[in-house]
Amino acid sequence: MTIQTAPQREEHPRGAVAVEVTGATRVFQGSAGTVTALDGVDLTVGAGEFVSLIGPSGCGKSTLLRLIADLDRPTAGTIEVFGRTAEQARLAHDYGIAFQQAGLLPWRTVRANIELPLAMHGTGRAARRERADHLIELVGLTEFADHYPDQLSGGMQQRVAIARAVAEEPSLLLMDEPFGALDEMTRERLQGELVRICAETRAAVVFVTHSIPEAVFLSDRVVVMSARPGQIREVVDIDLTRAARSDEGLREDAAYFAAVTRVREALHHGSPTPAQGVELR
């Protein structure tokens, strides 16, 4: 694997658009009535672009992510991933995914867990091992390569899950609050690692989070959503360069704080009380 040094907005080999969501609506029929989780959502994620979804609890962030991953189907609207349907993209292994829980297979070692997607898609043993070794080093778990998940801390498990998600160098990464269960220090370190990994693989990322600082730190654009029905309220462009992002000093930067303020205002816009479930740190 070579480290990409080219500027980030150059022509992406997979074309210009990673995800194209058009008029996506998802209505859940339950015994307690119907819930409109998403209502006519339009969203375009460019290739190599990092987009965060933020909004109050229950506004449909996970639902939207699951639609893109083809783990769920929209009631109306279409979803395209690299010009194909979401299902074709899933079957073509176009994306890697990480959830809030690590979801490692308990009977597989760290290395075997990271190798899982490669093994399932027929990568040879030697290539698999080489890739896994590289990723294990990238997430700083070299000494734990042969440990089992129950021997790792939560943060370590999450790092394995992220390594697993990027194992196949997907052009698209889908992440649903991957750092949600972690302490602040681990979280910031993993954010730094994620920025590094994204720079390396040039993957487009759709990232669900509850944390405004996290969204701002990581994203090119922050999509602010509102609940009942789940809709996109505003899209905030974050114009911080990726080079600046890999520098920890960014978190104290004035431009960074300005962006945090803009996202916060977008979240509160139109709602007199602070949105529930969003961390305002």
Determine, following the binding rule CB under 8 A, whether residue 139 of this chain makes contact with other proteins: no
* DSSP for residue 38: E
Residue 76 CB, shortest distance to ligand ATP, in Å, is 15
Q: Using only C-alpha atoms, what is the Rg of the chain?
A: 18
Binding to Mg ion, residues 58-117 (CB under 5 A): 62
Contact yes or no for 4/48 (Cβ under 8 A):
no
Q: Output the CA torsion sign for 159, 163, 165, 170.
A: positive
User: Token pair for residue 22?
Assistant: 């058009």
- What's the CA dihedral at 200, 211, 240, 206 to 10 degrees? 50
Determine, following the binding rule CB under 8 A, whether residue 81 of this chain makes contact with other proteins: no
Sequence-distant (≥ 6) Cβ neighbours of residue 89 within 8 angstroms: 70, 81, 82, 95, 172
Q: Alpha helices, DSSP H only, in 70-211? A: 86-91, 110-120, 125-138, 154-165, 184-201
Determine, following the binding rule CB under 8 A, whether residue 95 of this chain makes contact with other proteins: yes
User: How do 84-85 and 76-81 pair as beta strands?
Assistant: antiparallel
Residue-wise burial string across 17-36, b where 16 or more C-beta atoms lie within 10 A, e elsewhere: bbbbbeebbbeeeeeeeebb
Contact of residue 37 among Mg ion, ligand ATP, other proteins, none (CB under 5-8 Å per partner type): ligand ATP
Residue 29 CB, shortest distance to ligand ATP, in Å, is 8
Angle between helices 125-138 and 184-201 (to 10 degrees): 130
Contact of residue 212 among ligand ATP, other proteins, Mg ion, none (CB under 5-8 Å per partner type): none
Coil/strand/helix, residue 188? helix
Select from 28-36, 86-94, 145-153, 268-276 the region that touches ligand ATP (CB under 6 A): 28-36
Binding to ligand ATP, residues 45-104 (CB under 6 A): 57-63
How many residues interact with ligand ATP (rule CB under 6 A)?
A: 13
Considering the complex, state which of residue 213 and residue 230 has its C-beta at the smaller distance from Mg ion.
230
Residue 232 CB, shortest distance to ligand ATP, in Å, is 12
Determine, following the binding rule CB under 8 A, whether residue 106 of this chain makes contact with other proteins: yes
Binding to other proteins, residues 142-161 (CB under 8 A): 148-150, 153-155, 157-158
CA angle at 223 for the pair 258 and 17, rounded to the nearest 5°: 115
How many residues interact with other proteins (rule CB under 8 A)?
A: 31
Q: Using CB under 8 A, pick the residue from 22, 36, 44, 101 that binds other proteins.
A: 101
Select from 30-38, 130-138, 148-156, 158-166 the region that touches ligand ATP (CB under 6 A): 30-38
Contact of residue 28 among ligand ATP, other proteins, Mg ion, none (CB under 5-8 Å per partner type): ligand ATP
Contact of residue 48 among other proteins, ligand ATP, Mg ion, none (CB under 5-8 Å per partner type): none
Residue-wise burial string across 121-149, b where 16 or more C-beta atoms lie within 10 A, e elsewhere: eebeeeebeebbeebbebbebeebbeebb
Determine, following the binding rule CB under 8 A, whether residue 102 of this chain makes contact with other proteins: yes
Residues that bind other proteins (CB under 8 A): 69-71, 90-93, 95, 97, 99, 101-107, 116-117, 120-121, 148-150, 153-155, 157-158, 181-182
Residues that bind Mg ion (CB under 5 A): 62
